[in-house]
Amino acid sequence: MESILRDQKIRTGHIAIFLCLSVFVIATTAIARGQDGLLKVYFLDVGQGDAELIVTPSGQQILIDGGPTNQVMDELGIIMPFYDSTIDIVLATHKHSDHITGLMSVLDKYSVSKIVDTNRGHDTSEAKEWQIRKELEGSELMVAKTGDEFDFGDGVKIKILYPDTVSVDYKTKNPNNDSIVAMLEYGSLRILLMGDVELPVEKEILSKKINIDADIIKIGHHGSKTSSGIGFLNVVSPIVGIIEVGAKNSYGLPSDVVLSRLETLAIKYYRTDVDGTVKLSSNGKYFKITK
């Protein structure tokens, strides 16, 4: 009888320990995923390319682009807990290798619920591999177009401002101008994410009279002078600009022309080649930027 009672106590103890560990893991995951009422946006230092990780107040994770190498995995490993193997949305702005190459490694490690990109193709080996890999992932696939909106249910929204969808036989002239442009909103905070679009697309967006007023702008095309026209920046009227660019890159980016435009308009800017990964935190009214 004593043996039976002892076995029951041991089993009960094991169940209690398991439940405690389960609660601990759930609580730790909640903390690690940022469920603290703050929106967090990480502009990742991935070299000469783009990658941004958005963590909403409820802990949902959106990765926009993945940079030119698997360096994005190191950056995600610093931010995300080692046991977190899922990402809610992966969004590829366009098919250039400096935006999608790192996403291949992301799909290797993480289970992705939804993959978003455009139906604008690009005839390179990386673009073809990306098409194959995303179809094999088993995620929900979505083609983004102007007017689409992602509502995460915790006050955070992402609105697609560009591009429109095109026919299957569309041939791109400039993949940079196929980039997704999106507005991230949380409360009164607005962050404009420009991908790699250049001056012609900026003019097209302005002609549509879209509300592009924003507090933060992710500068287009790594600070190239082919983007970020002073007229466009003036309409956006941001407080801060973020330039994602590789150290000592062969393109000479960011351009002194763009830096001069930002300084003329008194827009404070951060650069991943100088500042490393840049983190923005916001309660929807105020924001803080740390390097």
The pair of structure tokens assigned to 92 is 């590829």
The pLDDT of residue 108: 96
SS3 130: helix
Q: What is the pLDDT of residues 83-137, one digit of tens each?
A: 999 999 999 999 999 999 999 999 999 999 999 999 887 889 999 999 999 999 9
Residue ranges covered by each domain of the chain: 1-32, 35-290
Q: Measured between alpha carbons, how far is 114 from 278 in angstroms, rounded to an integer?
A: 25
Q: Is the peptide bond before 163 cis (omega within 30 degrees of 0)?
A: yes
Query: Considering the entire predicted model, what is its pTM?
Result: 0.88
- Adjacent-strand bridge partners of 216: 191, 240
Q: State the amino acid at position 138 in one-letter form.
A: G
Q: Measured between alpha carbons, how far is 52 from 44 in angstroms, rounded to an integer?
A: 6
User: What does CATH list as the number for 35-290?
Assistant: 3.60.15.10
Q: What is the pLDDT of residues 34-44, one digit of tens each?
A: 568 899 999 99
Q: Measured between alpha carbons, how far is 291 from 275 in angstroms, rounded to an integer?
A: 6
Beta-carbon contacts of 134 under 8 Å, excluding residues fewer than 6 positions away, are 107, 115, 117, 141
Question: Residue 203: how many CA atoms within 13 Å on its side-chain side?
Answer: 4
